[in-house]
Amino acid sequence: MVQQFDLMIVGAGSGNTIPGPDHAGWTIAIIEKDTFGGTCLNRGCIPSKMLIHAADVAETIHTAAPFGITARVERLDWDRITGRVWQRIDPLAAAGEQWRHTQPNTTVFKGEARFIGEKTLEVNGQRLTAPRVILAAGSRPAIPDVPGLDQVECSRYYLTDGVSFLRTI
């Protein structure tokens, strides 16, 4: 049996931000194999910024003398620094997933999706279809193995999610 939806979204990082008031009444499938929130929330942007902030605080203390402030960093408690990060982030991912489960007309599928036909996915043995499919599962930059590509003069551009692409000049 194939479950029919109006929209299927693969990836609950940026993909989780797509459904909104404009989709009221639509049946939506969100498929995620990992933690809701994607790389930025769970392993990338946000944790790194929180760690960098702790380093900035230490640097401020280290460079306070020119301002007439005598201060020093006596020790760094790495467990406490990282604990602060994960204590704030982990609940966000869990809450995002739980909230999505409560939305009317939205079904969350935990697992890896694969195309088995045109606009048809399989997730954990379940078949899903929709006229609209959004792939928001992230990516890794790669340069294809194309003979002569290394001879082409080009510029490299980077998108905000880390995907790179090349443009010939």
The CATH classification number of 2-135 equals 3.50.50.60
Give me the residue spans of the domains in the chain: 2-135
Give the chain as a DSSP string: -EEE-SEEEE-SSGGGGS--GGGTT--EEEEESS-TTHHHHHTSHHHHHHHHHHHHHHHHHHT-GGGT---------HHHHHHHHHHHHHHHHHHHHHHHHHSTTEEEEES-EEEEETTEEEETTEEEE-SEEEE-S---------TTGGGS-EEEEE-TTS-EEEEE-
Is pTM beyond 0.85? Reply is: no
For the stretch 130-147, pLDDT in tens is 999 999 887 767 777 878
pLDDT in tens, 90-102: 888 888 889 888 9
